[in-house]
Amino acid sequence: MKAETIRIIRLAGLIVIVILLIAIGRSSFFTVAESEQGVITTFGKYTKTVDAGLHGKLPWPIQSAQNVPVNITQKIELGYGSTGTGDYYSIPEESTMITGDLNIVNIDFFVEWKISDPYRYLFETNNPDVILKNMLQSAVRAVVGTKNINDVLTTGKIQIQADVKETLHQRLLEQDIGVMVLDVKVNDSEPPTEEVSKAFRDVETAKQEKETALNEAIAYRNSKLPSARAEADKIVRAAEGAKQSKINEAMGERDRFLSMYQEYANFPEITRTRMYLEAMEEILPGIRVIISDDSDILKLLPLNESDEIQTVPADGNQ
């Protein structure tokens, strides 16, 4: 009976030892997923950070390991919340803000972030998620407080997003809590009352109508400009042609005068007589002129043979 008891005790001890060995073996290895990093602590104090894969450590309670999702994008909703069924609800104490022109506006933000430093996230910061949300709300109020309400509600949302992200980034650099911001978006912005909202919708409609009218005017101008330019080009070409014609005509008259003057300089008497005869032909068309070889007397015969014959000296003097 005593031997049997000893055998049972030994068997129980062996089972305990096996269980302890299995527990020690299981606690001496751990696996880190691709989206994680593992943080190993020794007696609660940080030892090192390891990447994805199978890793070994001293058994518990000497060392312990904690996996941190460093490559998983997380989100912060500011000004609103969401339920598990996909419904959303407003949080006025987060969304209500004062703009730079002292107007009140409700604005919601959606922020994406992830853990950048597991050590600082776990051991150097107390509640980093809460700190990040508080820093975000502070940055949002600081940026919105410099904008006018028209920018917040209409055209300035993209700039507000960029300014909030930059402000938050600078604050995270100053107070490193082991996280980084990936993106900041204005989810929604609206006036606090329906009357104000309607007024801003009317303003937005007027701006759209103005833009439409401006685009139509530009289209009309573009449709008319080619024909107007063609007509202007036609007028300019006609003027250039007329100018060149006048220049050519004047140059011809000049050359004709110079030629006549040259003839006159060489043969003054002959030239004077020719000019006289040409003038008489132009003044009295159809008249017959007879030049007497003996006396240099010109006889001007009228159209009718019965008219008296007139004589004129050949040099044109009466």
What does the pLDDT look like over 223-236, one tens digit per residue? 888 888 888 888 99
Name every residue whose Cβ is closer than 8 Å to that of residue 158 and which is 6 or more positions away in sequence: none
Label residue 104 by pLDDT band (50, 70, 90): confident
Region 285-308: mean pLDDT is: 53
Using CA atoms, how far residue 8 sits from 4, 14, 16, 17, in Å, is: 6, 10, 12, 14
The region of weakest confidence among 36-40, 101-105, 192-196, 214-218 is 192-196
On the question of pLDDT at 285 being above 80, the answer is no
- In the chain, which ranges are continuous DSSP H helix? 2-27, 92-95, 118-119, 128-144, 149-153, 157-174, 194-266, 268-283
End-to-end CA separation in angstroms for the chain: 186
Q: What is the pLDDT of residue 195?
A: 65
Residues of the chain above pLDDT 70, percent: 81
Q: What is the pLDDT of residue 167?
A: 93
Label residue 314 by pLDDT band (50, 70, 90): very low
Label residue 164 by pLDDT band (50, 70, 90): very high
The mean predicted confidence, pLDDT, of the chain is 81
Name every residue whose Cβ is closer than 8 Å to that of residue 182 and which is 6 or more positions away in sequence: 73, 112, 113, 114
CA angle 8, 10, 13 (to 5 degrees): 110
Name every residue whose Cβ is closer than 8 Å to that of residue 296 and which is 6 or more positions away in sequence: 313, 314, 315
DSSP string for residues in 219-241: HHHHHHHHHHHHHHHHHHHHHHH
More confident residue, 99 or 6: 99
The region of weakest confidence among 86-95, 139-148, 194-203, 244-253 is 194-203
On the question of pLDDT at 131 being above 90, the answer is yes
Pairing of strands 288-291, 297-301: antiparallel
Q: Is the dihedral of CA 168, 170, 175, 178 positive or negative?
A: positive
Label residue 149 by pLDDT band (50, 70, 90): confident
On the question of pLDDT at 305 being above 60, the answer is no
3-state secondary structure of 279: helix
Name every residue whose Cβ is closer than 8 Å to that of residue 244 and which is 6 or more positions away in sequence: none
